[in-house]
Amino acid sequence: MRKKMIAGNWKMFKTIPESIQLAQDLAKLSGQTDSAEIVVCPPYTSLYAVCETLKNSKIGVGAQDIHWEDQGAFTGKISHDMISSTGAKYVIIGHSEQRTYFNETDESVNRKVKKALSAGLVPIVCIGETLQEREGNQTNAVVEKQTKGAFLGIPEADAIKCVLAYEPVWAIGTGKVATPEQAEEVHAFLRGLLTTVYSTNLSNSMRILYGGSMKADNAKSLLAQPNIDGGLIGGASLKADTFQGIIDATK
């Protein structure tokens, strides 16, 4: 039985005081929740403060990206040690905004996943097709290429620690949510792909999250699908009550 995961991606929102406030509000509402594994991913500047705020709660904390080198002259980048030293345990890798605006490729995703795993961080690996790709019937081919690329050369014993997030690009931040049937179709395809690439054991245990305009009012029907194991939430994770509405949908 896969435990549901609800992860909030705060993107480039929230100063340190705002982050602490939101973390405190979430801790009050669902700091001891067991119905799902809850994770929040604040911007780097707030990681330590949010980890400290949530340290006596069950809510986990993640970064939004990582660099694949241990250290060096890489202005603007953040290493695994830096992330781990804040107390964060998760890291989002390959988000479509990174792919679209910051030249993230399947190859860089792969290097980041390997580094995160070697550092004991849990990668939340994002994949998803654009509207043009969907309309061109390329969805399965695109998510297959991205998934195989992300996990290239990663042994099953490591890969099994990852979380996969299917985020159709056309649904992110647009208010256009995939229907439960559309999402489930891709999730089921990914489940089969994981069986082929790895094994039934890995495929049965890896969580596949859905992301893209998930809100309290559509979460229940999405999360009811057999292959949807949680959500990666952008906009609705920025307020405690809207995020809580999605957490409640896992109960």
List phi, psi (to 5°) of 218. -115, -5
Rounded to the nearest whole angstrom, what is the least distance from the CB of residue 200 to ligand PGA in the complex? 28
Rounded to the nearest whole angstrom, what is the least distance from the CB of residue 211 to ligand PGA in the complex? 4
Choice between 79 and 126, CB closer to ligand PGA: 126
Rounded to the nearest whole angstrom, what is the least distance from the CB of residue 196 to ligand PGA in the complex? 26
- DSSP one-letter code for 36: S
Other C-beta atoms closer than 10 Å to the C-beta of 100 total 12
Catalytic residue among 37, 67, 80, 95: 95
Other C-beta atoms closer than 10 Å to the C-beta of 27 total 18
Choice between 79 and 121, CB closer to ligand PGA: 121
List residues near ligand PGA by CB under 6 A. 9, 167, 172-173, 211-214, 232-236
- 167 catalytic per annotation: yes
Contact predicate 93/111, CB 8 Å: no
Q: Tell me the residue number closest to ligand PGA, measured at CB.
A: 234
Choice between 50 and 222, CB closer to ligand PGA: 222
Contact predicate 195/214, CB 8 Å: no
Look at the block and give the residue holding tokens 């792969």.
110
Length of the chain: 251
Return the active site residues. Answer: 95, 167
